[in-house]
Structure 1
């Protein structure tokens, strides 16, 4: 059973900078442990010990383990979204941006997040699942915006840009598994292969 405590009462004082810093520390520590051991194996006691706080301190910031897991997952996904946007915005052209993005994802597998989600999903409430999936959807929206721009420039043929974003994300997950089988192949080489496979199906030339 997931750990639960009563929800915080209204009227709690506004968070200070120290509160926010501690909250971020707890989220980062929890993320590390969830990635290493999975949702079910990690306890709030472990998280508290790892970041040097008591269990009641964790409850000050989060209603329970499920609430903390959602915060950890959405934080990781928001970071992925920011990196995705930055790489695509700064790239000289879309193909290079996609290669850099795929290379970064291979170095820091997004598949770990999906595995954690599948394990925890049956133990979460629908509202919590929706919050995580919405954070993931925002990554796809960033990709979709760049794919729509490519369509407007007649680089891509007309297609549902969100569908293409999800397809490209799926290819990157497959790339994670492929890299496990071929450790001698660099992230860059595999990233170029993934992007080439993707672009061959959508370019106009």
Structure 2
């Protein structure tokens, strides 16, 4: 379910943070987060640190400079064209996209009944909301076609049409049955995957479990 509305008060940093013992493993953090969901009724996971977006912008510009270097060295023909495109895309287009996405405030809220993925942009709150009963499985998807491309957590949910089209808060079909968590959150991608998978296993209705395991 998706809704657009004027946002209410945002969660404070204290509400979105948990204290973990020194040296806690991912499994221990997942267990503590699940306990927080059960005891408090909700766990809020906020946006990732500012440094992550700055680092990606710097790395993109550095890649773009490689294309400029090709032009400076006097490349001609197809190589020169490729260098020009490389320079333009990684020096301007990608940094703009990264900066625009970072300008969107977003958070993930987990409860024993459902999860909500929320984006706030220009004073409008867009929420993707799904019940654990509607989740069929939790998996990952690659952001590119290369083996080294980042993997992002994905939640597959029931669709009235039976289709499995892509959806994220940044792009995709809002009526699809696949939700991609490609936002930079304060919980890393693999920790988030394990948390979503564990929450699905714990909170989904037991009489729906057999359906959720068939894939």
TM-score (norm 1): 0.25
TM-score (norm 2): 0.24
When you count helix as a share of all residues, which structure comes out higher?
1
